[in-house]
Chain A
Amino acid sequence: MKELKVLAVVVFFSLLVYWGVEPFAHGQMHKHVDSDKFAYSDLPEITKEGDAANGGNLVMGAGACLGCHSIESQGMPAPMDAGTAAASYGVNPPDLSNIGALYDEKFLAELIKNPAHALNVEHKFDPAAGKMHPMVAFYGAGGDIDQEVADMVAYFKSIAPKEISPKEAFDNACGRCHAMRYDKYTQLGDIPEFKYEKDALAYQIKVLEYQDHLKKYMGTLPPDLSMIIRARSAHYLETFVENPQTQLAGTSMPRVGLSKEGYEKVEAYLTEIGDPSKPQREAIGPWVLGFFLIFSILAFLWKKHQWRDLH
């Protein structure tokens, strides 16, 4: 039928334009980065069997983790508040309660031994030039260092909770540098409710002071992530979090080291805040499309009827 031929021509050229301005153009604009599927293949495998009990002793040991980090779930509070910590280190060191469930174990092991390397920020921190990473590397407690590190990782895995909410994952992995204003969340955590404006402003000043330290440490204030799920493609976000340098060479953002499950949690939180209509969209979509399908069928029958005497 002639009309279908006309339709085919219209569809062909429309799709050609679409292909040109969307998949083709974006393919040309952005270099392709392959996902490593959170395997961290550049980091060495853990060869030793970890002993959680010994790891616990090492973590709690003098001069080890607790000088800077808290382990709230084990009743170990932070040695200083977030603002003071940021003033000293540039950023508030994370709580270690659930890191065993969020991060890749190879990453954790390397982080303990060589933070700048694990975090992929060696371009920023060069001990030879006197620029030390604020996290001090673990030099061993006298025994086999690989065994000790494996023990510590085993300990963190043993104390990690079974279930971590998407928000907790974000809080630990991203939330000390990135705010999330659509969830009323800043680098200091959820913004409390204040009855008096004076108190609200005082809190805001605390946030700004923290952000100033962060700015000095990172070179720029890391962006608010409220809309990031819609501002970047899923593939970009995944590969960027996996290794920021691949997408943005020279960025001061460290490698986060999330495991695949950990990243899925973070992504779920970003979606929940940045694109909360997604479930509703998916629920209503088929109904609307179904409606117009039936509408078209009825309209076709009506048209056929109207036109039946004309030819």
Chain B
Amino acid sequence: MKEQGRRDFMGMALGGFTALGGLGALYAMKRSWDPLPSVKAAGFTTIDLSAAQENVLNIEKWRGKPIFVLKKSADMKADDRDVVVGSDRFHVSIGLCTHLGCIPAYLPGEKIFRCACHGGEFDASGHEIFGPPPSPLEIPPFKLEGTTIVLGEEGPEFIKMKDAGLIA
């Protein structure tokens, strides 16, 4: 029995040390699965807001996802989630329904978003008003630079919204 114990000790020491190397290899493997630097570097989109027309939805692309940009008309309710540029107010959000990720359509007549998949509805500020969506349309990290907005960077306006818990 004593002999067995010693054998186990040497074998276990070797096994444990091998496992340590295995961890190192696993780390390298994990890193290989990470998004590429070029993918991360491409994670910024600049949108010019100055040409936007009221009540016309613009759909841009950021990190492969659709981005809603809606210039609010005067009759639309102001909201803390609006992006304010001068006297203009914009609703900017990731255009994926918070229910299961379909793209809602904008209905300019009713001034709401409606998702064709399960009938969820959002108002022009992105708040859920009907159906299964559990939360408002998500606001992507943004930074205002004059009349342009850079998606993917967290500017002071975004951080303020985030701290107030308004982004989603």
Q: Which residues of A contact B (CB under 8 A)?
A: 291, 294-295, 298-299, 301-302, 305-306
Within the complex, which residue of B6, B10, B11, B14 is in contact with A295, where a contact is CB–CB below 8 Å? B14
Given A298-B13, A305-B6; 19 other pairs, CB 8 A cutoff: A291-B20, A291-B24, A294-B17, A295-B14, A295-B17, A295-B18, A295-B21, A298-B10, A298-B14, A298-B17, A299-B14, A301-B10, A302-B10, A302-B11, A302-B13, A302-B14, A305-B7, A305-B10, A306-B7
Between-chain CB contacts (< 8 Å), 6 pairs: A295-B21, A299-B14, A302-B11, A305-B6, A305-B7, A306-B7
The docked-state distance in angstroms from the alpha carbon of A291 to that of B13 is 13
- CA A301 to CA B6, docked complex, whole Å: 11
Closest 9 CB pairs of A and B: A302-B10, A298-B14, A305-B10, A302-B14, A291-B21, A301-B10, A298-B17, A298-B13, A302-B11
Q: Across the two chains, which residue of chain A brings its CB closest to B7?
A: A305
User: Which residues of A are found within 8 Å of B11, using beta-carbon distances?
Assistant: 302
Which chain B residues border A298 with CB–CB below 8 Å? 10, 13-14, 17
Bound Cα distance from A295 to B25, whole angstroms: 15
SS class, residues of chain B in contact with chain A = helix
Mark B11-40 against chain A: 1 for CB-CB distance below 8 A, else 0. 101100110110010000000000000000
In the bound complex, CA of A294 to CA of B13 (Å): 11
**Which residue in chain B gives the minimum CB-CB distance to A292?**
B21
Q: How far is the CA of A305 from the CA of B2 in the complex (A)?
A: 13
In angstroms, Cα B155 to Cα A196, docked, is 26
Nearest chain-B residue to A305 (Cβ)? B10
The interface residues of chain A lying within 8 Å CB-to-CB of B7 are 305-306
CB-contacts of B132-149 with A (<8 A): none
Q: How far is the CB of A265 from chain B (nearest CB, A)?
A: 24
Name the residue on B nearest A294 (C-beta): B17
Kindly provide the distance from the CB of A245 to the nearest chain B CB, expressed in whole angstroms.
39
Complex alpha-carbon distance, A181 and B14, angstroms: 47
Cα separation A306 to B21 with both chains bound (whole Å): 23
User: What's the Cα separation between A299 and B18 when bound, in Å?
Assistant: 10
Among A291, A298, A306, which residue has the most Cβ atoms of chain B within 10 A?
A: A298
Task: Convert B55-75 into 0s and 1s, putting 1 for each residue whose CB lies closer than 8 angstroms to a CB of A.
Answer: 000000000000000000000
Which residues from chain B contact A301 at a C-beta distance below 8 Å?
Answer: 10
Chain B positions 65-106 with a Cβ under 8 Å from a chain A Cβ: none
B30 → chain A, closest Cβ, in Å? 15
Cα separation A294 to B20 with both chains bound (whole Å): 12
Residue of A nearest to B12 (CB): A302
Which chain B residues lie closer than 8 Å to A306 at the CB level?
7
Chain B residues with CB under 8 A of A291 = 20-21, 24
Taking CB atoms, residues of chain B closer than 8 Å to A294 are 17
A305-B10 Cα distance, complex, nearest whole Å? 8
B69–chain A nearest beta-carbon distance, Å: 15
How far is B18's CA from A153's CA once the two chains are assembled, in angstroms?
A: 63
Cα(A306)–Cα(B6), bound, Å: 10
Minimum distance in angstroms from A201 CB to a CB of chain B: 19
- A302: which B residues are within 8 A, CB to CB? 10-11, 13-14
Task: Give the chain A neighbours of B10 by CB distance below 8 A.
Answer: 298, 301-302, 305
A301 CA to B12 CA, complexed, in Å: 12
Q: Give the chain A neighbours of B13 by CB distance below 8 A.
A: 298, 302
Write out the residue numbers on chain B whose beta carbons fall within 8 Å of the beta carbon of A305. 6-7, 10
Q: Closest approach, in angstroms, between the C-beta of B118 and any C-beta of chain A?
A: 35
- Minimum CB–CB distance from B1 to chain A (whole Å) comes to 15
What's the Cα separation between A128 and B24 when bound, in Å? Answer: 68
Q: Give Cα A305–Cα B14 distance, bound, in whole angstroms.
A: 13
Cα A306 to Cα B7 in complex, Å, equals 7
With a cutoff of 8 Å between Cβ atoms, the chain A residues found around residue B24 in the complex are 291
Roughly how many angstroms separate A298 CA and B7 CA in the complex, as a whole number?
Answer: 12
The residue in chain B whose Cβ has the minimal distance to the Cβ of A304 is B10
Shortest distance between the CB of B90 and any CB in chain A (Å): 20
Of all chain B residues, the one with the shortest Cβ separation from A303 is B10
* Separation of A298 and B10 alpha carbons in the complex (Å): 7
CB distance from A310 to the nearest CB of B (A): 13
Give every chain A residue within 8 A of B21 (Cβ-Cβ).
291, 295
Chain A: CB-nearest residue to B14: A298
